[in-house]
Structure 1
């Protein structure tokens, strides 16, 4: 039988020498392999496990619930957030009320790029919106994640280097594996009807679309926030307010959000 991955997370109740060794020995006796282990929060550890059968996991759960040194918090098939937590040693922050909204700060660009790259690798249509003030790192993160996911990116509208507003694609750009990037401000303030015809055509394609400033995009189109699969918020610091007042006053940005690519190795 093919082995199956599981995610185990537990909170340490009594931290003593040899605790991790005890858990590792238990997993070994049950013939469950540890793929990755890391601290995922203060006082918590996360593990990616490989098991041959669900019965092994049931037995593991029963034993873990009898231990007074730890409290098991999760034992499930791993979600993307679980994989990111083990890989980076911390959980991605998610909105408590809107489960499709994920929050990052500028210091977490590496985590953000890894998260978006994993989304890009998934097959089929996916609509991703990214909120953030100018020059916080939105465009650099989108492009860096494209490189990590081995995806070709195409700017449909953008303020990168110079303003881009496209109203057609060439033949080889009509590729479902391409990633299409749309700037909601540029498309709604500077675009023609031909551009919007192209946007609608792209939106119907079973491909990845990333829209910067999704709130302004939906204000001026037939699309809604509910159409988005993921909303990403990027701030300089956790308390920064993302406001569109400046964008409403100015119909065009000078410069772009494109930052220093020296932070990433492609």
Structure 2
């Protein structure tokens, strides 16, 4: 029988000497292998486990329930957030009301890049929006995640190096293996009908599209936030407010209709 991975997470009530050794010994007696282990919170520990049968997990769960020093909080097939929590030692913050919204601060860029890279590796259509104030690291994180996922990134609209507004692609750029990056502000402020025709073509392509400033994008297009599979918020600090007041003010725009502010 092929071995299967499980995710175990438990809260520690009393971190006495030998606690981890006791749990490791229990797993050994049940012939369950520990793949990865790490603290995922101040008082929690997570493990990726490998075993042959569900009966082993059921026995583990019943024995752990009798231990007074810990409380099992998760014992399930590992999700992406579980794998990243063990890998990085912290959980990705998820919006309590909107389950597709994930929050990061600049100090967590490594976790963000890893998270997006895992999303980019998945096949098929995927629409990801990323919110954030200027120079917080949005575009750089998308590019870094594309590299980690072994994907080619392609700017459809951007202000990273110079203002980019594409109205057509060459044939090999329509690859499903590409990550298409769209700046919602640039596309809505400086585009033409040919640019939007290109975006509509890409939306039908079974590939990953990442849209910076999705709120501005949906405000001026037929697309809705419900069309997005994931929304990522990146802040300098956890309490920072993400606002688009500068975009809505006429002073934001220069003589050519667009300022040099890198949003």
Normalising by the residue count of structure 1, what TM-score does the alignment of the two structures yield? 0.95
What residue is the counterpart of 1:89 in the other structure?
89
1:232 match:
232
Q: Quick check: 1:105–1:238 contact (8 Å CA) kept in 2?
A: yes
What does residue 213 of structure 2 align with?
A: 213
Distance in 1, Cα, partners of 2:87 & 2:200: 37
Q: How does 1:120-135 map to 2 (within 5 A)?
A: 120-135=120-135
1-structure distance, mates of 2:15, 2:110: 31
Deviation at 1:255, TM superposition (A): 5.4
Q: Which residue does 1:49 correspond to in 2?
A: 49
Q: Report what 1:172 is aligned to.
A: 172
CA distance in 1, matches of 2:171, 2:61: 54
The secondary structure found in structure 2 opposite 1:35 is strand
Residues 141-197 of structure 1: CA distance to partner in whole angstroms, max 9, x if unpaired? 000000011100000000121110011110001111111000000000100011000
TM-score by length of 2: 0.96
Instruction: Point out 4+ residue stretches in structure 1 off by more than 3 angstroms.
Output: none
Contact 1:7–1:76, Cα closer than 8 Å, also in 2 = yes
Deviation at 1:15, TM superposition (A): 1.6
Per the TM alignment, residue 229 of structure 1 is displaced from its structure 2 partner at its CA by 0.6
Q: Which residue of 1 aligns with 2:158?
A: 158
Aligned residue-pair number = 257
Cα distance in structure 2, aligned partners of 1:178 and 1:23: 44
SS state at 1:256 partner: coil
Q: Secondary structure at the match of 2:40?
A: strand
Give the SS at the match of 1:211: strand
In structure 1, stretches of 5+ residues that fail to align are 258-266
Question: In the TM superposition, what is the alpha-carbon distance from 1:14 to its structure 2 partner?
Answer: 1.9
Give the 3 Å change call, closer, same or farther, for CA 253–25 of structure 1 in structure 2: farther
Which whole-Å CA distance do the structure 2 matches of 1:227 and 1:18 have between them? 50
Matched, 1:256 2:256: no
Residue 256 of structure 1: CA displacement?
Answer: 3.4
- Residues 79-101 of structure 1 deviation map (CA, whole Å, 9 limit, x = unaligned): 11101110000001111110110
CA deviation after TM superposition for structure 1 residue 66, in Å: 1.1
CA distance in 2, matches of 1:139, 1:72: 39
Once the two structures are superposed, residues 180-218 of structure 1 have per-residue CA deviations (whole angstroms, 9 ceiling, x without a partner) of 000000000100011000000001110000000000000
Alpha-carbon distance between aligned partners in 1 of 2:50 and 2:57, rounded to the nearest angstrom: 10
